[in-house]
Amino acid sequence: MVARAWLLVTLLGGFTVWAAETNEAVFRLGIDVLAQRGFRDLKGKRVGLVTNPSGVDGQGKPSWKRLRESPEVNLVALYGPEHGVFGKVGAGKHVSGERHGEDRNSDGKISKDEETGIRIFSLYGATRKPTPKMLDGVDVIVYDLQDVGCRSYTYISTLGLVMEAAQEKGVEVMVLDRPNPLGNFRVEGPRPEGELAISSFIGQYDIPYVYGLTVGELAKWVNEVHLKKPCRLSVIPMKGWTQKMTWEDTGLKWVPTSPNIPLARSARGYVATGFFGELGVSNGANPAGVPTTGLDGTVVQPFDIFALENVDAAELCRKMAEWGFNGVKFTPFRFKPPTGKYRSVVMSGARVTTDPKAPANLTAINVAGIEILKKMLPKKNFFADAENVVMFDKLNRSRQTRKMVQAGVAARQIVASWDTGVAKWREER
């Protein structure tokens, strides 16, 4: 276990924070490093900020407030990704108008925050790429969003489109680096290339499903490899982050990145059970991110489980354990959904508990579970819903995984088919 102490650190400008000290170094987020520099990197520039509630400093103060309160910073615009600047909109819902503390899915637009007077723009509504007009009066656009380290999480797609728009407009881009909660050591999952690849907003880049980079490192890759023309990019690095760390090693409090990622462990759950949601299998995710209460009173968070009706939970967990997912525990879980298609129907399955540094391939839990459930429920067609099929393919960034599952290819063989792309990425990144 990493030894920790707490140090009182006074930054330039008299702002004091409690910083977690690991046995490697004092850890600071990119926003805190920027503050330590006295925000001089932004002095004399009109600043736009891409952020949401996950964009906070080491004390939990929103980055947009830190920028607005600095005499060196002229904050003129805020840009919100999926879920909005204030993080209250459900997954996949378009955001059209926002004001301080409120996200709305209406046709009316509010161009300025009523409390601060700062312009607010949605990057998950009528457009996902900033228009030239959205960047009028902006010299540098700062990106400060906590990510989860998984390709299908849409914030990194927003990042790429912001960088592309900034290059076209002649605007600088600054990324405030943040931890990859999964750890840079974790690289896994499908990476289809060529004709097999399906590019979408949840699979914009030619990278593995779990890509093992911080957002600042990914921004550099996007600039060097993905963009046709690179933008003027700067990355404010963290202090104390190492390749072997996960979020838990930072000592910082996790701020939900979206309604269904309420805890740091939810990032691992998102990887381990995310595919199930596109197959009619409950993984606990729901529009409001509400926890699920089991029949035994156990409360779980979104992406902590996978379950269906008419499943022998104990048998499912036993078979999952036989796979040898080191650092992962499967325990029976039964519940009745309070709403939806399966309201009041007993659902049975597995609760998935993962160690932060579990050596297991977390993405493989999805295909192993699908294989086992198919054998337990031979009459069920997991790909009956056309919309779910499309989303499943987008998650995998190809049709290959689905076709292999439908053809009865062994799950271990499917997982092995990912190895080439993962090995190539480890050399490239």
**CATH code of 307's domain:** 3.90.1150.140
| Residue 111 confidence class, pLDDT cut points 50, 70, 90 | low
Look at residue 87 in the predicted model and tell me its pLDDT: 58
Last residue within a domain, chosen from 224, 250, 276 = 250
Q: Quick one: 246 and 270 in the same domain?
A: no
CB–CB of 47/257 below 8 Å?
A: no
Query: Distance between CA 417 and CA 59 in Å, rounded?
Result: 43
Q: Quick one: 238 and 136 in the same domain?
A: yes
Q: Quick one: 300 and 232 in the same domain?
A: no
Look at residue 144 in the predicted model and tell me its pLDDT: 99
206 within some domain? no
Last residue within a domain, chosen from 250, 277, 311 = 250
Q: What residue numbers bound the domain in which 410 lies? A: 265-428
240 within some domain? yes
Q: Quick one: 119 and 223 in the same domain?
A: yes
**CATH code of 138's domain:** 3.40.50.12170
Q: Quick one: 295 and 232 in the same domain?
A: no
Q: Quick one: 228 and 81 in the same domain?
A: yes
Note the pLDDT tens digit of each residue in 343-391: 889 999 999 999 999 999 999 999 999 999 999 999 999 999 999 999 9
Last residue within a domain, chosen from 250, 275, 294 = 250
pTM recorded for the entire structure: 0.89
Domain count along the chain: 2
23 within some domain? no
Query: Distance between CA 110 and CA 122 in Å, rounded?
Result: 10
Q: Quick one: 287 and 221 in the same domain?
A: no
Q: Quick one: 244 and 370 in the same domain?
A: no
Report the alpha-carbon angle 366-387-207, nearest 5. Answer: 50
Please determine, for residue 204, whether its predicted confidence score (pLDDT) is greater than 80: yes
Note the pLDDT tens digit of each residue in 83-97: 778 755 444 444 444
CB–CB of 129/123 below 8 Å?
A: yes
Mean pLDDT of 382-402: 96
Cα torsion 33, 38, 40, 43 to 10°: value is: 120
Look at residue 340 in the predicted model and tell me its pLDDT: 75
CB–CB of 50/107 below 8 Å?
A: no
Q: Quick one: 269 and 372 in the same domain?
A: yes
Mean pLDDT of 307-314: 98
Measured over the CA atoms of residue 395, residue 397, residue 398 and residue 401, the dihedral's sign is negative
Look at residue 84 in the predicted model and tell me its pLDDT: 77
Nearest to 55 by CA among 295, 290, 219, 215: 215
Q: Mark residue 177 as left, alpha or beta (left: phi above 0; alpha: psi -120 to 50; beta: remaining).
A: beta
20 within some domain? no
256 within some domain? no
Lowest mean pLDDT among 149-158, 218-227, 255-264, 337-346: 337-346
369 within some domain? yes
Angle between helices 364-376 and 265-273 (to 10 degrees): 50
Look at residue 16 in the predicted model and tell me its pLDDT: 38
Please determine, for residue 409, whether its predicted confidence score (pLDDT) is greater than 50: yes
Q: Where are the beta strands (DSSP E) in 145-246?
A: 172-176, 233-236
Q: Quick one: 104 and 225 in the same domain?
A: yes
9 within some domain? no
Cα–Cα distances in angstroms (integers) from residue 94 to residues 127, 200, 224, in the given order: 10, 16, 30
CB–CB of 324/333 below 8 Å?
A: no
Q: Which amino acid is at 54?
A: S
Q: Quick one: 297 and 407 in the same domain?
A: yes
Segment (H or E) for 266: helix 265-273
Query: Distance between CA 77 and CA 118 in Å, rounded?
Result: 5
Q: Quick one: 352 and 305 in the same domain?
A: yes
Most confident option among 11-15, 21-25, 116-120: 116-120
Nearest to 349 by CA among 382, 326, 373, 379: 373
Look at residue 20 in the predicted model and tell me its pLDDT: 45
